[in-house]
Structure 1
Amino acid sequence: MGDPVEFLRGCALGTRVTVRRSIDGGWSDALGYLRELTDTACVIETRRRGLVTVPLDAVTNAIRVPEPPPRRR
């Protein structure tokens, strides 16, 4: 598996991703669209939490994920 930060740097803004980061006592995931990427952090727009800023030095994994299925009526 490659470097997750390098993977994020290669993604276009708007790509749907899951980013896992280490936190005290475990991990936290952010699933959504990559909205911003700086030298120190990425911003993921999630459906439930809105914009989530993830420090790049805490990222342990990142993958591209497919678009969600259409919502049922």
Structure 2
Amino acid sequence: MVRLPAPGNRVVVRYLLPTGQATDVLGELLSADDELVVVDGKRGVERIRRTDIVAAKPVPPPPAPRPRRT
């Protein structure tokens, strides 16, 4: 079983699609229980079954935006 940080942390989760291919979601972990993990990523809120998860880990916050050149 993959260990996840507490909700509210930024995570990357690799999981299997129904086709058998793997994909990733990077975003804020909204919730996690024994059956379902919910992550708010760039594609929106994704609900992932625990049985489909291959790997997961916490990641640091995104870097601050660069100032615009004038």
TM-score category by the smaller chain? 0.7 to 0.9
Counterpart residue identity of residue 38, structure 1: D
Identity across matched positions, percent: 33
Matched length = 66
Structure with greater proportional helix content: 1
Show structure 1 runs of 5+ residues with no match.
none
Choose 1 or 2 for highest CA Rg.
2
| Root mean square deviation of aligned Cα | 1.2
TM-score, normalised to structure 2, is 0.84
Show structure 2 runs of 5+ residues with no match.
none
How far 1:41 moved relative to its partner? Answer: 0.6
Superposition pairs of residues 21-60 of structure 1, within 5 angstroms: 21-23=15-17, 24-46=19-41, 48-60=42-54
TM-score, normalised to structure 1, is 0.81
> After TM superposition, where is structure 1 displaced by more than 4 Å over at least 4 residues in a row?
none
